[in-house]
Amino acid sequence: MSSEHSTHSRNPRSFPYELRTFPSRLAEGKVPEEVAAWQQAVSLGFHGDATSAEEAAKYVASEEVDGRMCTGAYLKDSAAPAGAWGIEYPVATYAYHRKGLNVGAGTLLPVHQITAVTVRPSHRRRGLLRAMMGSDLAQAKAAGIPIAALTASEATIYGRFGFGVATHACDIEVTVKGGLEFIVPAAASQGVVEIADPTVVRDLHDGIFARVHGASYGSIGRHDMYRLSSSGQGNYGALDPVKNIRAALHYDAEGAVDGYVTYKPVQDSGRSAVEIVDLLAATDAAYLALWNFLGSLDLIDVVKWGMAPVVDPLEWAMAAKRLYKRTGTEDHLWLRILDTPGALAAREYAVDGQVAIHVGDPLGHASGIFRIEIVHGKATVTRCPEDGSVTAGLSMGVSELSSLYLGGVSARTLQAAGRIREEEAGAVADFDSLFAASVSPHCLTSF
Ligand SMILES: CC(=O)SCCNC(=O)CCNC(=O)[C@H](O)C(C)(C)COP(=O)(O)OP(=O)(O)OC[C@H]1O[C@@H](n2cnc3c(N)ncnc32)[C@H](O)[C@@H]1OP(=O)(O)O
């Protein structure tokens, strides 16, 4: 039995549950009962509708593409009467799939993406999340995965497990009444934008996303359901196509599609608005041209988007910068380094230099003193003895290192926030010169 399929036993008095891990996959075209019960528990945890058999089959078919592994926590025994949710329904759920994280220089680092974390209301605050997380991160580390990731329902949950915010997403509102004016109009009118049936986006999604992913620092792989949700062809909780979603494609000079936007009209405090469902642009030209198109929509006052980058070229392209309003900024991608040398050596660095850091990790996966030496943009990371012979310039927790990893926040900022300690004068500045990123990391994927 592989470690990923193991059953864990604990003292029944303190932990009357067993954890079981299994793949989300169809068996002879049908959803296995264990997987169906797990899907119901997830719906319950997120206050969704009960999942129909037809929906469960579609979810599982999609999750099979991702190689999703599900963990359930099951009561070892229960006095529940027949028909009630007894030992066959998990009281807690947890899942992962593994894709890639763009860490620069064309490297897609294997990443362990955690999702579908729920604990039944009647079993909360008894350590179920802690048990599932502890067991899962240990297995990911043992499998050689250098980093874990999630997008969180609340910002207060995951720091204690060593996760740190690595990217943010912004809510923006762009006033487009009368059209968008660009400082360099030619930069926003390359190629052609044309309306398409949204089903076309479902089929184009994977190819275009692969290009965007490969080119976008901080991007994380998308699960299969994105083909449907981006194109309005269904999502968790609602598999019927959404009728008011529209799509426009961007064609490059050779006539190849290198970007798209899907959007839908919404009423917004008396204003006529469209909301972007998904916008993928493999080139700068496609990005501005798609915005130029959105700016040309008649009868629309404002375009809204919830996934804009922290530093957005659109804002700098617009003649009337004040018509671009950032209405919110939220934590988006949380990372959790599991293998400090592996993760740090994979990242791209702009300048050469060296720094030594001390990393604390209550779970032990990432902790130690590490010397990071960068030559020609490549890091060599050496674990140092902890016998006092090596002094680290900086001390931080794994959550802080995970936030610093992509350069989305500086060590100076975390020092000012009281979260990292400078042990040797100048170490914060040295660290920042090495870890600074020329582009702000941005991730267009939630999971
Ligand atoms: C990646 C994702 O899937 S994000 C989705 C997360 N899921 C949800 O939001 C669904 C609704 N919420 C839930 O199902 C549960 O409340 C969960 C999963 C958030 C927490 O599960 P629990 O089993 O209650 O957590 P557990 O008892 O293991 O608590 C572990 C620690 O986290 C803390 N904690 C748990 N939930 C929260 C919370 N919502 N906010 C702040 N702290 C929390 C606990 O206080 C405890 O802290 P401590 O060990 O430092 O004392």
Residue 368 tokens read as: 């130690």
Residue of the CA atom closest to atom 46 of ligand 1 = 125
Separation between Cα atoms, residue 16 and residue 268, nearest integer Å? 49
DSSP states of 33-99: HHHHHHHHHHHHHTT-PPPPHHHHHHHHHHHHHHT-EEEEEEES---PPTTS--TTS-SEEEEEEEE
Determine the distance separating the centroid of ligand 1 and the alpha carbon of 118, expressed in angstroms: 8
Give the residue, out of 119, 136, 333, 335, with the most ligand 1 atoms within 8 A of its beta carbon, to mutate for a pocket test.
Answer: 119
Binding residues are 117-119, 125-130, 153-154
For 207-226, the pLDDT digits (tens) are 999 999 999 999 999 999 99
Query: 105 and 377 in contact (C-beta within 8 Å)?
Result: yes
Binding residues for acetyl-CoA are 117-119, 125-130, 153-154
Q: Using a 6 Å cutoff on CB, does residue 156 contact ligand 1? A: yes
Q: Looking at the CA of residue 125, tell me the nearest atom of ligand 1.
A: 27
Residue of the CA atom closest to atom 34 of ligand 1 = 157
Full set of structural domains in the chain with CATH: 3-145 (3.40.630.30), 169-329 (3.40.630.30), 338-398+408-435 (3.30.1050.10)
Q: Looking at the CA of residue 126, tell me the nearest atom of ligand 1.
A: 27
Which 8-state DSSP code applies to residue 341?
H
Q: Using a 6 Å cutoff on CB, does residue 154 contact ligand 1? A: yes
Burial of 134 (0-12, 13-18, 19+ CB in 10 A): middle
Q: Looking at the CA of residue 124, tell me the nearest atom of ligand 1.
A: 24
Determine the distance separating the centroid of ligand 1 and the alpha carbon of 157, expressed in angstroms: 6
Q: Using a 6 Å cutoff on CB, does residue 155 contact ligand 1? A: no
Q: Using a 6 Å cutoff on CB, does residue 145 contact ligand 1? A: no
Q: Using a 6 Å cutoff on CB, does residue 114 contact ligand 1? A: yes
Q: Using a 6 Å cutoff on CB, does residue 126 contact ligand 1? A: yes
The runs of H, that is alpha helices, within 296-331 are: 313-317
Phi/psi of residue 249, nearest 5 degrees: -110, 150
- Confidence at residue 267, expressed as pLDDT on a 0 to 100 scale: 87
Separation between Cα atoms, residue 272 and residue 268, nearest integer Å? 6
The residue type found at 107 is T
Separation between Cα atoms, residue 114 and residue 45, nearest integer Å? 15
Separation between Cα atoms, residue 149 and residue 98, nearest integer Å? 10
Active site residue 89: no
Q: Using a 6 Å cutoff on CB, does residue 48 contact ligand 1? A: no
- Which residue among the candidates 74, 217, 293, 447 is catalytic per the annotation? 447
For 325-383, the pLDDT digits (tens) are 999 999 999 999 999 999 999 999 989 999 999 999 999 999 999 999 999 999 999 99
Active site residue 161: no
Separation between Cα atoms, residue 99 and residue 112, nearest integer Å? 7
Q: Nearest to residue 356, comparing CAs of 414, 434, 441?
A: 434
Give the residue, out of 70, 93, 132, 157, with the most ligand 1 atoms within 8 A of its beta carbon, to mutate for a pocket test.
Answer: 157
CA distances from 385 to 3, 342, 382, 392, 447 (A): 31, 18, 10, 11, 38
pLDDT truncated to tens, each residue of the chain (447 aa)? Answer: 333 444 444 454 578 999 999 999 999 999 999 999 999 999 999 999 999 999 999 999 999 999 999 999 999 999 889 889 999 999 999 999 999 999 999 899 999 999 999 999 999 999 999 999 999 999 999 999 999 999 999 999 999 999 999 999 999 999 999 899 999 999 999 999 999 999 999 999 999 999 999 999 999 999 999 999 999 998 888 888 999 999 999 999 999 999 999 999 998 888 999 999 999 999 999 999 999 999 999 999 999 999 999 999 999 999 999 999 999 999 999 999 999 999 999 999 989 999 999 999 999 999 999 999 999 999 999 999 999 999 999 999 999 999 999 999 999 999 999 999 999 999 999 999 999 999 999 999 999
- Confidence at residue 12, expressed as pLDDT on a 0 to 100 scale: 45
Chain Cα centroid distance, residue 188: 29
- Confidence at residue 240, expressed as pLDDT on a 0 to 100 scale: 86
- Give pTM, 2 decimals: 0.95
Please name the residues in contact with 269: beta carbons below 8 A apart, sequence gap of 6 or more.
none
- Confidence at residue 13, expressed as pLDDT on a 0 to 100 scale: 54
- Which residue among the candidates 59, 158, 182, 349 is catalytic per the annotation? 158
Give the residue, out of 96, 111, 124, with the most ligand 1 atoms within 8 A of its beta carbon, to mutate for a pocket test.
Answer: 124
